[in-house]
Amino acid sequence: MPGDLKVVIFDLDGVLVDSFGVMREAFHRAYREVVGAGEPPFEEYSKHLGRYFPDIMTIMNLPLEMEEPFVRESYRLASRVRLFDGVTDMLEKLSGHGLRFAIATGKSGPRARSLLDGLGVLSRFDHVVGSDEVANPKPAPDIIFRAMDLLGVVEKSEAVMIGDAETDLASARAAGVTAVAALWGESDPGPLLDAQPDASFDSPAAFTTWCLSD
């Protein structure tokens, strides 16, 4: 654990919330609506998670017009999203020891805040920063720097970033903060571990123990 840890910056999807099924359905519906024929390439899409949706569309050479139906369906299906087991306990224990939280997500800020509000946990986070609220989203460090600035972080050693995608780790490294891999979601752990995070954990409880260890 970083010796003077004060804040934890979380990715959202795949770390705090289990939204993979909703993402898959929203992507399929958006693809059918905009592109039409063919199998929606969700497997390829999933390899770019952590990035802002329009950036993924550009990388995959898909129409940017897919964003509107994808976002619409994501809102419509939001009630299916659940917190991962152990997340509530993790937040309670870490906040009980004085740690503060921000979220740095590939989602837009309004959509992320709406989702967290629906789950009843928005108030647990000091700040939620979406990819539409920074000049350059992940893997650039801007979103991490923004979260740190909002939290009043002075030293980079005071913060860790935990995510479930290589993009999250790259963003954390570019910002100079400890890069932690969350392995409890649906992301393939192989590429995450190959990216050599500073630490990796298979449960929120294990991450909590690490944060609170001397």
Work out the percent of the chain whose per-residue pLDDT is above 90.
92
Q: Would you state the pLDDT for residue 187?
A: 83
Q: CA 201, CA 86: separation in Å to the nearest integer?
A: 13
Computed from CA positions of residues 131, 93, 150, 192, in that sequence, does the dihedral angle turn out positive or negative? negative
Cβ-based neighbour number of residue 130 at 10 Å? 22
Q: CA 92, CA 99: separation in Å to the nearest integer?
A: 10
Work out the percent of the chain whose per-residue pLDDT is above 70.
98
Q: Would you state the pLDDT for residue 4?
A: 87
- The structure's pTM equals 0.95
**Residue 152 binned pLDDT confidence (cut-offs 50, 70, 90):** very high
Computed from CA positions of residues 179, 202, 186, 129, in that sequence, does the dihedral angle turn out positive or negative? negative
Tokens 């939620």 sit at which residue?
128
**Residue 2 binned pLDDT confidence (cut-offs 50, 70, 90):** low
Question: What average pLDDT does range 145-173 have in this prediction?
Answer: 95
Q: Would you state the pLDDT for residue 54?
A: 96
Provide the mean pLDDT of the chain.
95
On the question of pLDDT at 1 being above 60, the answer is: no
Question: What average pLDDT does range 7-15 have in this prediction?
Answer: 97
Question: What average pLDDT does range 127-132 have in this prediction?
Answer: 97
